[in-house]
Structure 1
Amino acid sequence: MRLSRPARIALRTAAAVGFAVIYLPLLVVVLNSFNRDRGSGWPPPGLTLRWWTAAWRNTGAREALWTSVAAGTAATAVALALGTLIAFAVQRHAFFGREALSFAVVLPLALPGIVTGIALNSAFRTVLEPLGVGLGLFTVVIGHATFCVVVVFNNVVARLRRTPGSLEEAAMDLGAHTFRVFADITFPLVRSALVAGGLLAFALSFDEIVVTTFTAGPGVRTLPLWIFDNMARPRQAPVVNVVAAVLVLLSVLPIYLAERLSSDTASGSRI
């Protein structure tokens, strides 16, 4: 379809405005992390690395960073295991309730985060607390895994749909056992989808705040929770800007890598 010149200009203008609304606030946060003015005055009267040094020396920020990394890593591991198994079950086998299972797996990503958080908080207090397990890092990992599983599941299912089962059948006909077929045929074909799903899952977990608020408990603070708690403290504003900039950068990298991996050819031969 060939668009007229006014239509092309209008579309480009709308796209530029949309990108500006999304990315200019992020750019302002990054610039404010170097702002010499403690009150984040604009335009910046000068640039400094002072606040980056202060942020690194901030014990609370460092602990929150490692908590986020630990929670994201654990949630990603759980999501990779469960999401991959469910994807293979749904895509490679026919059984009663297959569509219902697929819908149940995807549903947590569509639900509002506050609904998921309230439901998980109630479930943990009802089931785990009588067993002596309170809210903490363990419950945060479970909470994050509920929506991280969806990302891995979608990536693996999409790859399996583009991968003919005849390749595995041919390997079995030649005498290869199940584990050999998986190691030599199946895994190389879905490897990039697993990596992409894992990166996206980690990024989602790393910057999640709504579900974390209801599942973390008083003793656990992830990096987004630390930022939220310190936003109202004027003297902490420069350090908060630095931590927010780090959060943006750490979230962009895995998403970029996942996008590159997800753009593989249909054969899935590249990683």
Structure 2
Amino acid sequence: MHSEHPPLFLKIAAWGGVIFLHFPLVIIALYAFNTEDAAFSFPPKGFTLHWFSVAAGRSDILDAVMLSVKVAALATALALVLGTLAAAALWRREFFGKNAISLLLLLPIALPGIITGIALLTAFKTLNFEPGFLTIVVGHATFCVVVVFNNVIARFRRTAYSLVEASMDLGADGWQTFRHVILPNLSTALLAGGMLAYALSFDEIIVTTFTAGHERTLPLWLLNQLGRPRDVPVTNVVALLVMLVTMIPILGAWWLTRDGEMVAGGGK
């Protein structure tokens, strides 16, 4: 009989990886509360909420936050529609090129962000679209669609098509079948996919750099702050808030899909 418990060195390696990944985040969170007169000292000298009030009073921060919220909301809505329709099309029918289409849908999130960003910028320039709000939304939607598609197609594969056939046999039309049979089965997958897509869009920076033009989302604002050392305390506060905003939907998506064996990413 093999032991169900992993070896000690694997546990140590796992915890070491977790600490390595999260230690910088802890430092940022810690310095967001550092005292006003010792913002650059180590170790921190005290606790204060002063920098939070400073950040709340900065119009440039509020504008960047609102832009990121709008972009993430629109990109997520677009991804929910396109990702769900793509998943439904690939679930119901077998046809030539189905695997190729699945691969093409996954490529935007598999490719490095800089490749996707350059490709999008080239396409927009070819079509004479000036980079701005709409190009950011389209750029974010390209990888948000993948997240929604993965979750929805995984749920479709766990849904018996006989339910749809039974609904049709009982006299339901296509819309009634979708509303009363398919949608309830997809609800948590759609919610989880939407939450993940929103989190990814809210803190995306690489693709945004190529598609933003003169617009400045919150991640771009943070990148610009790297050249302003006197604003480090405020930057830490904003970075902490971004971490919290993106962490909550990711944890929520995990909780909604924690029992699904075929949820996208579950086998990784």
Q: Which range, TM-score by smaller chain?
A: over 0.9
Structure 2 residue aligned with 1:19 = 18
In structure 2, relative to structure 1, the CA distance for the partners of 1:267 and 1:249 (3 Å cut) is closer
Q: Does 1:135 align with 2:134?
A: no
Structure 2 residue aligned with 1:166 = 162
In structure 2, relative to structure 1, the CA distance for the partners of 1:265 and 1:123 (3 Å cut) is closer
Distance 1:267 1:208 in 2: 27
In the TM superposition, residue 267 of structure 1 has moved relative to its aligned partner by 11
In structure 2, relative to structure 1, the CA distance for the partners of 1:10 and 1:264 (3 Å cut) is closer
Normalised to the residue count of structure 1, the TM-score between the two structures is 0.93
Equivalent positions of 1:70-219 (< 5 A) are: 70-129=70-129, 134-218=130-214
Structure 2 residue aligned with 1:225 = 220
In the TM superposition, residue 265 of structure 1 has moved relative to its aligned partner by 5.2
Which letter does structure 1 place at the counterpart of 2:157? R
SS in 2 for 1:128: coil
Which letter does structure 2 place at the counterpart of 1:59? S
Which letter does structure 1 place at the counterpart of 2:249? P
In structure 2, relative to structure 1, the CA distance for the partners of 1:232 and 1:39 (3 Å cut) is farther
Which letter does structure 1 place at the counterpart of 2:164? E
Count of aligned residue pairs for this structure pair: 262
SS in 1 for 2:128: helix
Where does the alignment leave 5 or more consecutive residues of structure 2 unmatched? 264-268
Higher mean alpha-carbon deviation, 235-244 vs 93-102, is at: 93-102
In the TM superposition, residue 11 of structure 1 has moved relative to its aligned partner by 1.5
In the TM superposition, residue 179 of structure 1 has moved relative to its aligned partner by 0.7
Distance 2:38 2:138 in 1: 38
Higher mean alpha-carbon deviation, 209-218 vs 16-25, is at: 16-25
Which letter does structure 1 place at the counterpart of 2:245? L
What is the CA deviation profile of residues 83-130 of structure 1, one whole-angstrom value per residue up to 9, with x for unaligned ones? 00000000112222211111111111110100110111111111033x
What is the CA deviation profile of residues 15-45 of structure 1, one whole-angstrom value per residue up to 9, with x for unaligned ones? 1111101112111111110011554322101
Q: 8 Å contact 2:154–2:262 — kept in the other structure?
A: no
Distance 1:128 1:177 in 2: 43
Where does the alignment leave 5 or more consecutive residues of structure 1 unmatched? none
Normalised to the residue count of structure 2, the TM-score between the two structures is 0.94
What is the CA deviation profile of residues 208-245 of structure 1, one whole-angstrom value per residue up to 9, with x for unaligned ones? 00000000002x11111000001221111100000000
Distance 1:224 1:206 in 2: 8
Distance 1:267 1:185 in 2: 20
Distance 1:111 1:267 in 2: 23
Q: 8 Å contact 1:206–1:251 — kept in the other structure?
A: yes
Which letter does structure 2 place at the counterpart of 1:199? M
Which letter does structure 1 place at the counterpart of 2:218? L
Structure 2 residue aligned with 1:242 = 237
In structure 2, relative to structure 1, the CA distance for the partners of 1:153 and 1:13 (3 Å cut) is same
Distance 2:143 2:165 in 1: 33
Which letter does structure 1 place at the counterpart of 2:99? E
Q: 8 Å contact 1:38–1:237 — kept in the other structure?
A: no
TM-align CA RMSD: 1.8
State the percentage of identical aligned residues: 49
Q: 8 Å contact 2:38–2:45 — kept in the other structure?
A: no
SS in 1 for 2:117: helix
Distance 2:229 2:248 in 1: 30
Q: 8 Å contact 2:193–2:253 — kept in the other structure?
A: yes
